[in-house]
Amino acid sequence: MKNRHIKCGFTIPIKTLERLDKKTTYKGFNRSRWIVGAINDKLDKTNTPEPLTERQMMVLLHNNTKDLGLKAYLAIKINPEYDKWIITSPEYDEIMRNPTGNRK
């Protein structure tokens, strides 16, 4: 199949055109070829988000799970100081004595 070309017109801000002309003139590129390359690069780029770090994934899971055990585990993994706070908090003993939550 022959690679066909078609003339098309579009409007761009003058500052953008000046920047493009500066770049293509300086490097000796053909303006049309540069624009086609830029369009192809944009079309070929996938719309997948940037990869998440392990911590970011744990935060997302923590915020979206209803499993309390998993939430507690993730809270400690996300912030290792969290378990120290729980154990040293005044409420810890009460929670451990009465885990069902029936407070006095």
- Average pLDDT along the chain: 77
pLDDT (0 to 100) of residue 92: 54
Has this prediction a pTM greater than 0.85?
no
Gap between the Cα atoms of 21 and 15, Å rounded? 10
74, with CB counted inside 10 A (0-12, 13-18, 19+), is: buried
Question: Measured between alpha carbons, how far is residue 13 from residues 18, 19, 20, 31, 32 in Å?
Answer: 9, 10, 11, 15, 16
1-33, pLDDT tens digit by residue? 577 888 888 899 999 988 888 888 766 678 888
Gap between the Cα atoms of 57 and 64, Å rounded? 11
